[in-house]
Structure 1
Amino acid sequence: MELGYGLEASGRPFIWVVKEVEERRVLGVEEWMKKFETRVEGRGMVIRGWVPQTLMLGHVAVGGFVTHCGWNSTLEAIAAGVVMATWPHLYDQFFNEQLVVDVLKIGVAVDIEEPKLHDIWNDNEMAVKVKREEVEKVLERLMGGGEEGDERRERAKELKEKARMAMEEGGSSWKGLQDAINYALESRKKMQ
């Protein structure tokens, strides 16, 4: 709900993909979602369920991506040249956030506290606690951001081009896949 309030307060157009809304975890959340959708109608869209994320990230109208920093989502955003608001939840996602924000410099951290390992079985303790004001602030930095934001978007475009070149015939990713295929074929021949 705090993410929704932050998206609403940002004043920016958005698509929010919600995989599930669990009434049993937060009483009244279903009713809140209905009211939220009414309040942001015409500026924001809520999609319940699955979406083709790669296709969406590649759309020219997408200016930024709020991500949990899973490796697939991170790579998809990099390959699409999209800047990211990073909101990791568990494990390696915090390392991926460091890569996006500190190394590649194409993201803005939501600045959440990494959950403690001993709290892993307590859902209430594992909940990532971020206030709407923080979401609004991060979205403004990500989507506006002045000179810093312009530099972030330019780096994202450069990485998109590098990713495209790596996947073309003769590129490093293409060669790596070709090597894996050749290895599998050679191994199969040896077994016959």
Structure 2
Amino acid sequence: MNTEDLLASLRKAARDIPMADIMKARAFMVRSASGLPKKYREAYSNELFSHLYNVFNEISRSKKPENIENIDPEEYEEFMRRLEEMGISEDKNQEYFNKLVRITAPYLVFIAKRPIHPIGMTFPGGDRVVEKDGIYYCPVKDKQNTVEVALCKFCICRDAEEMVKGSKWKMGL
């Protein structure tokens, strides 16, 4: 499979999802974030949903990827396995959220080559996903690599620690 084939498949899947299902995904995100502190609740339920929704619309409107590249079948299979392992909670709307992620995440990872989480999203501890000199950094990238269902392994972001080390090296420390 290549990026053109994947985009065609994702575009078809996106066009087949009714807006009511997108709203159910949003409802799931709001409910699942209800126990978080306000700052993180807003980041998850507002920023992340807006990011996923904008990517979803981008996929629906897209014609062809900028670069047509082959996708490593083993990497893609592992990525999709992790997506399929996303749990189902008692909230029946989680399946709608999972469908949204199954469309947007492969697009971000394999086609757009952008972070899965939105730039600027705040994580617990106050750290954010940032972009510096065309490189994306995430505060949880390396901390999530051992989590079986985490998608961080596939995300284009580098660990935020690399940005700190790079700054020290540039300053001669």
> Which category of TM-score, normalised to the shorter sequence, fits these structures?
under 0.3
Relative contact order higher in (CA < 8 Å, ≥ 6 apart): 2
TM-score by length of 1: 0.25
Structure ID, larger Rg: 1
In terms of fraction of residues, the more strand-rich structure is 1
